[in-house]
Amino acid sequence: MISRLLSLWIIFLILFAPTQSSFASIDYGKQTLVGEDFSKLDLKGATFYLTNLQDADLSGSDLEGASLFGAKLLNSNLSNANLHNATLDSAVFEGTNLENAVLEDAFVFNARFSDVNIQGSDFTNVILRNQDLSYLCSIANGTNPVTKRKTKDTLQCN
């Protein structure tokens, strides 16, 4: 009887114990996470609403469907990040490294871009303000290693 209860308890712990690599249910909203290391993590659906992520490392992370609405991403590293279908509205991208990031179908309304690295980034189906589009087209180059699309083509630069 005791061994059966112990076995059931172990199975329960295995099935329902949180894993270190899955942060989807965690809400990082309105926090100051300056310099934090979130590299190569599964952050699908995570919330970073109005979060200060200055100098944060999110490189190689899976941020599919995540909300970074109004996030401050000054000098942050989002290289090789999956931002597919992410909400980036009103986010501040200043000095941000977006090299080889996939932003396909992301929501980027009213975001600010300056001094960013977008080499190899994929902006397929991303709607941008004219001034942001002009700026990004002026610096766009490279081909995304995952989607095999040219950055200029994904931005629909002339």
Please state the rounded mean pLDDT for residues 28-51.
97
Residue 19 confidence (pLDDT) above 50: no
**CATH dotted code for 23-158:** 2.160.20.80
| Residue-level pLDDT at 2 | 61
Residue spans per domain, the chain: 23-158
pLDDT given at position 111: 97
pTM of the model as a whole: 0.84
Give me the percent of the chain exceeding a pLDDT of 70. 84
67 pLDDT band, cuts 50/70/90, is very high
Kindly report each contact of residues 150-156 with a partner whose C-beta sits within 8 Å and lies 24 or more positions away, as own/partner. 151/118, 151/119, 151/120, 151/121, 151/122, 151/123, 154/104, 154/121, 154/122, 154/123, 154/124, 154/126, 155/123, 155/126, 155/128
